[in-house]
Amino acid sequence: MQLGQFSASVSVDGVTLSEYAPEYSADGTEATRWIPSQNDKCFRVQWSNDNASKSLLISGRLNVDGIKCPGKRMAPKDPRRPTFSQASRDSVPTSAATRRPLMFSKQALTDDDEYLNASISPHLGTIRLQMIHVKKKGHTTLRTGATRKDYKKQILHEKSKKAVGHAVQFGAEFRSMLNTRSKSKTIKKLVTFIFKYRPIELLRADGVAPRPVEEERAPPTEVLDLTMDTEEDAAEAKIKELEAQLEELKKNQKRVKQEPSVKKEIKTESQPVFQPGEVIDLT
């Protein structure tokens, strides 16, 4: 996501997450995108400045679900790119030698009615990054054993309409090098990046993210209708029977044509010859 000389993104396992439905404020100082969250996956927020200057100190201040994370200053570090600076955050300090990673996880729900009317941050489901012009005031070291209570997971009542499927949780604590906290004074807020996250299934269901291209379907398996086959078999058998009868008739007709014709002799009985004047005895 880009706003003027500044850019920001969120990544999981080193891969930048896709961004959907871009929106910008009227004055061009705020940009909003939707990103797909992944359950039980740690994430990193990174930001950069393409027009950095040693005389202009910029700090990136991160909020996750309304929880403030320590800011991180940006300064040019590569002499080959004197006007480029960047920074990132993937964990928060919990003591002088421990940190907890940022991660997406399933929203914690409870049926305990004590949480029914509990206050819920309006920034739940949101990662907010502000680029701020600051003045350096030094730094302090976190005391050993000091913890941030507001790093605990936010629990919602199961009937809450604020649940968005996932929430930012803070993973298991791990050892790290000495943690310091920068102290600075805000001079001017420059731009704000807002990442609204949801499981990819919800983004697709809401029409925010496109549905995946359907894989080519395999040809459907032919289903045999046994009833139909029985009727067809009966019809076919009848046809074969009729064809056999027809063939037999043709053979008989051929045989009849080949036999010689027999003339029947008609015997004519000899008729008596009467002489003139002969008397016939009828007794």
pTM of structure = 0.69
Q: Tens place of pLDDT for every residue, the chain, 283 residues?
A: 999 999 999 999 999 999 999 999 999 999 999 999 999 999 999 999 999 887 888 999 999 998 999 888 888 888 888 899 999 999 998 888 889 999 998 877 877 787 777 777 788 899 999 999 988 766 655 554 445 555 777 777 777 766 677 888 888 889 987 676 667 788 999 999 999 999 999 999 999 999 887 644 555 555 545 454 556 667 777 788 888 888 887 777 766 666 555 444 444 444 555 455 555 454 4
Check residue 221 and give its pLDDT. Answer: 56
- Give the pLDDT score at 225: 52
115 neighbors 155 (Cβ within 8 angstroms)? yes
What pLDDT score was predicted for residue 248?
80
